[in-house]
Amino acid sequence: MIRVLSVTPEAVPLVKTGGLADVAGALPAALAAHEIEMRLLMPGYPAVMQALSDEAETVARLPDCFGGSARLLAARHDRLSLLVVDAPHLFDRGAGLYASDSGKDWPDNPERFAALSWVASEIASGLLQDWRPDIVHGHDWQAGLAPYYIAQSEAAGRVRSVLTIHNIAFQGLAPASKLGALHLRKADFTPEGFEYWGQISALKAGLIYADRLTTVSPSYAEELTTPEFGMGLDGVLRQRAAALCGILNGIDRRVWSPETDPHIRPYKTPRGKAANKDALQQEFGLPMADGPLCAVISRLTDQKGLDLLLDAMPALLERDGQLVVLGTGEAALEGAFRRAAEKHANIAVHIGYDEPLSHRIMAGADAILVPSRFEPCGLTQLYGLRYGALPLVALTGGLADTVIPATPATLARVPVATGVQFHPVSAQALANALGKLCDLYARPKLWLKLQRNAMAHPVGWDQSAAAYAALYRDMLNPS
């Protein structure tokens, strides 16, 4: 049995702002089959503290934890074995995980997640008498300092560390004046260490000090080493290329299976989607239409390329296609989609975050659109495959690795395609791709075959859990 401490700022079903939460929440169960015991170390946000039952047990006290005292709690929740940092001065506050109601990042975010990372290193050093990890597996910048603290601790050399990059756009920068507050050595505040253009970078610390690095798709692993996608850290990643690999995300089939989904009219074959499509059109007040019903379920940010979709929409509307958008994010994008919905009967928009609705949309939509400028993995195209909502995606990152694009070759005799891809990521290329989608949709037999292909495509955790297990084994016994 290999013991792994997963250090994560979010996990389903407790707290989620993006796909990282799905992945962190699904991995422990997926890995159990590989003789890996994974416990999650998480911040004690109000939502986490409330979810813990009376059975939560105090397993350690941390009197001096980044500006206040803290407790470490152990609890089980759903299928998760949790260790929770109960530090009210850092985590007991309302609203978002990372920002206040007004959307401004909490000014002490560096301390909050340094604390999480430091507790990980304490656990690696033997804080808990009965459980010590063989490997500490951190996620994103929030756990970036864990490999650094471990390297400075008595666990150095004994406990291995791996950091997964879910999104390099978030780097956890802090001013140099916080060196002391974050318990960082001035000697390591160098370009070879965690210094990044005069600031402290928690993510860079992880990239430099972790034994291994992973990201969430093979294509993104390659992209990360290029200036176009590395967001200033491509040099570091080129230097550590031998330690970096890409392992695709899977989806949690307990939650995302059209056969058993409690939020929809369950179905086993693509034909079962019709009732869900009717219901979705009714729910959103959309008319019947000749073209495909396309969906977006997404954070509304620059990354996701949805401004391009606004520009490309005529290509869908002129074929009597429809669009349903579920999302929240930048005010400008929210406003633009709201206005588009007011103008066109074939566009409907729900601004907000709504998990059950996201299931109903997947079940009812003919296609899911993911025109991202970059996408480390992406989960909604995987849900789309599983639910027979054909993905139309940009040729980038994990989108490139998970969708088999419709081309003359993949449509020949026995079609193997599962969706549509476009490149470059521009409004024109997206408009062309929407036209192609409409052409395919106008051939019902072919469309049905593509839906069958999509629904049969493996998107669960089996292969990827095996890849993580192999990585852990290799870290402990290098071949």
Q: Which residues bind ligand GLC (CB under 6 A)?
A: 18-20, 23, 166-167, 216, 249, 375-379, 398
Does residue number 217 form part of the binding site for ligand ADP (CB under 6 A)? no
Q: How far is the CB of 379 from ligand GLC (least distance, A)?
A: 5
Question: Closest distance between ligand GLC and the C-beta of residue 376, in Å?
Answer: 4
**For 435, phi and psi rounded to 5 degrees?**
-60, -40
Residue 304 CB, shortest distance to ligand ADP, in Å, is 7
Query: Using CB distances below 5 to 8 A depending on partner kind, what does residue 212 bind out of ligand ADP, ligand GLC, none?
Result: none
Nearer to ligand GLC, 117 or 372 (CB): 372
Single out the residue of 37, 39, 36 nearest to residue 25, CA to CA: 39
Residue 216 binds which of ligand ADP, ligand GLC, none (CB < 5-8 A, kind-dependent): ligand GLC
* Cβ atoms within 10 Å of 198's Cβ, excluding its own: 9
Site pattern 308..327 for ligand ADP (x: CB under 6 A): ------------------xx
Assess 358 for contact with ligand ADP (CB under 6 A).
yes
Regarding 201 and contact with ligand ADP (CB under 6 A), the answer is: no
**By C-beta, is 18 or 88 nearer to ligand GLC?**
18
- Residue 402 touching ligand ADP (CB under 6 A): no
Select 117 or 167, whichever has its Cβ closest to ligand GLC: 167
> Which entry of ligand GLC, ligand ADP, none binds 297, CB below 5 to 8 A by partner kind?
ligand ADP
Task: Confirm or reject binding of residue 19 to ligand ADP (CB under 6 A).
Answer: yes
> Where in 360-399 is the site for ligand ADP (CB under 6 A)?
377-380
Place of tokens 């929240």: 328
Name which position in 9, 11, 14, 22 contacts ligand ADP (CB under 6 A).
Answer: 22
